[in-house]
Amino acid sequence: MFLSECSTNSIKQAAQSIAAGHLVAFPTETVYGLGADATNESAVAKIYQAKGRPSDHPLIVHIASMGAIGDWTSEVSSYAINLARDFWPGPMTLIFRRSELAEDFITGNQETVALRVPNQPVALALLKEFEKLGGRGIAAPSANRFGALSPTTAQAVKDELANYLDPKNDLILDGGPCQVGVESTIIDCTTNAPQILRLGAITREMIQESTGLLVLEDEPTRIRVSGSLESHYSPNATVLLDVLAQSGEGFIAMDSIQTPAGAIRLASPSSIESFARELYAALRFADAQSLAKVCVIQPEGRGLAAAIRDRLKRAAN
């Protein structure tokens, strides 16, 4: 079930496994995904079963290039093309009106489909190998139990899902730690202007510069997307925000903030980027140490810092 290296042969084996209807966990630049053939209903059902994910919760379809957009969509705005050209491959998911290829088991019975081209060598190689076998796309939510912390290493996937995967047929590709560390920005491209449905590394300012349009914020939407529940990305430990840790409690803050006496330092990021990269691993380490509480001093600012605060708010609920 576990592949410790991402050789050409192991990636080919993984593509063949997906084509045969099995599951493959693989790295992206954001977090590790749990992938299946996005056109195979029985294979996609295995994702839901392994994750314990509600069946009406839509999945993101990963494609090898923006050239595959037309396979999955019935309508594409010009600003969506601009976004794809500017930020794919990258940590951005676009929502389109679906084509017939995007069936209910992928869309959560919605009339929209979520697409992404990941910016990670192993992920792109896997998608291209799958294309060679006739594959159209790989459905891949984060490779964790539903509502839990997203994994940013292959070992975290194994620790979380080993009991829920088929040891004979399912695979885990180890591509090292994820470089971004929080999930992709999700953008609704079905309206006259883009709307952010989940914050991530692609920021509002970046979207506006790409499209020349003002981004809709906090507008009502009926579109369900990954990571939109009030409580999500949660460790077993209780997460407390913007308070100093007491003795015996976990503590996460920028390296400029001293560790309170007796607190257990879980991460000391030196930048917003490293904060995002280290966050989930630090929270997983807290659970491994059976800590009851983790106190986090949240980073200030916009962009990726806002995405980090979004994840922490959901973790604390």
Read off the pLDDT of residues 209-268 as tens digits, 9 standing for 90 and up: 999 999 987 677 788 887 666 666 789 999 999 999 999 999 999 999 999 999 999 999
The pLDDT, as a whole number, for residue 227 is 65
Read off the pLDDT of residues 158-196 as tens digits, 9 standing for 90 and up: 999 999 999 999 999 999 999 999 999 999 999 999 999
Query: What does the block give as tokens for 116?
Result: 């992404």
pLDDT of residue 1 exceeding 60, the answer is no
Read off the pLDDT of residues 29-57 as tens digits, 9 standing for 90 and up: 999 999 999 999 999 999 999 999 988 89
Are residues 76 and 183 both part of a single domain?
A: yes
Are residues 9 and 111 both part of a single domain?
A: yes
Query: Which H or E element spans position 104?
Result: helix 104-107
pLDDT of residue 22 exceeding 80, the answer is yes
For 149, phi and psi rounded to 5 degrees?
Answer: -65, 135
Any alpha helices (H) in the chain, and if so which ranges?
8-19, 41-51, 69-72, 78-87, 104-107, 121-132, 154-161, 204-211, 272-288, 304-316
The pLDDT, as a whole number, for residue 7 is 84
Split at pLDDT 50, 70, 90, the class of 105 is: very high
CATH number at residue 90: 3.90.870.10
Split at pLDDT 50, 70, 90, the class of 81 is: very high
Share above pLDDT 90 across residues of the chain, in percent, rounded to a whole number: 89
Q: Once rounded to an integer, what is the mean pLDDT over residues 68-79? A: 96
The pLDDT, as a whole number, for residue 231 is 62
Strands 171-173 and 2-3: parallel
Q: Once rounded to an integer, what is the mean pLDDT over residues 299-310? A: 95
Read off the pLDDT of residues 128-154 as tens digits, 9 standing for 90 and up: 999 999 999 999 999 999 988 999 999
The pLDDT, as a whole number, for residue 132 is 97
Average per-residue pLDDT for the chain: 94
The count of domains in the chain is 2
- Answer whether residue 51 is part of any domain: yes
- Answer whether residue 223 is part of any domain: no
Are residues 139 and 9 both part of a single domain?
A: yes
Are residues 110 and 48 both part of a single domain?
A: yes
pLDDT of residue 3 exceeding 60, the answer is no
Domain hosting 286: range is 238-316
Are residues 147 and 264 both part of a single domain?
A: no
Query: What does the block give as tokens for 114?
Result: 């979520």
